[in-house]
Amino acid sequence: MLVVCVYVHVKPEGREQFIQATLENARQTIGEPGNLRFDVLQQADDPNRFILYEVYRDQAGADAHKQTAHYAKWRDTVAPLMAEPRKGVAHVPLFPQQAEQWKTPS
């Protein structure tokens, strides 16, 4: 399992367009076979900052996501709306454990 947190800071005038484009991308992403979750979070004390919390079965699922037409459309749509470049950070989840997915072979 792979978790990616994407940190995004958008220009105030691009916030609503960013939200619309990101929600559309999220709706399509959750239908991908390699995706397990896609949350769009807006920072409470700064509405121009977001975290995209993406969970994939594995690296292949994350790589496949970046090959989709909806990801390319999102990427190209939101690029000019950014106040600074977005930053994606990959994580390996440690807790909670997910049944068989987390068991190591004996």
Domain ranges of the chain: 2-93
Six token digits for residue 13: 């005038």
Q: What is the pLDDT of residues 8-34, one digit of tens each?
A: 999 999 999 999 999 999 999 999 999
Q: How far is CA 2 from CA 20, 31, 69, 99, in A?
A: 25, 17, 21, 16
Q: Does the pLDDT value for residue 99 go beyond 90?
A: no
pLDDT band at 104 (very low <50, low <70, confident <90, very high): very low
Backbone angles phi, psi at 41, to 5 degrees: -115, 135
pLDDT computed for residue 102 by the predictor: 43
R_g over Cα of the chain: 15
pLDDT computed for residue 80 by the predictor: 98
Assign domain 2-93 to a CATH class: alpha beta
Q: Where are the alpha helices (DSSP H) in the chain?
A: 15-29, 59-65, 69-78, 99-102
Q: What is the pLDDT of residues 39-72, one digit of tens each?
A: 999 999 999 999 999 999 999 999 999 999 999 9
pLDDT computed for residue 93 by the predictor: 87
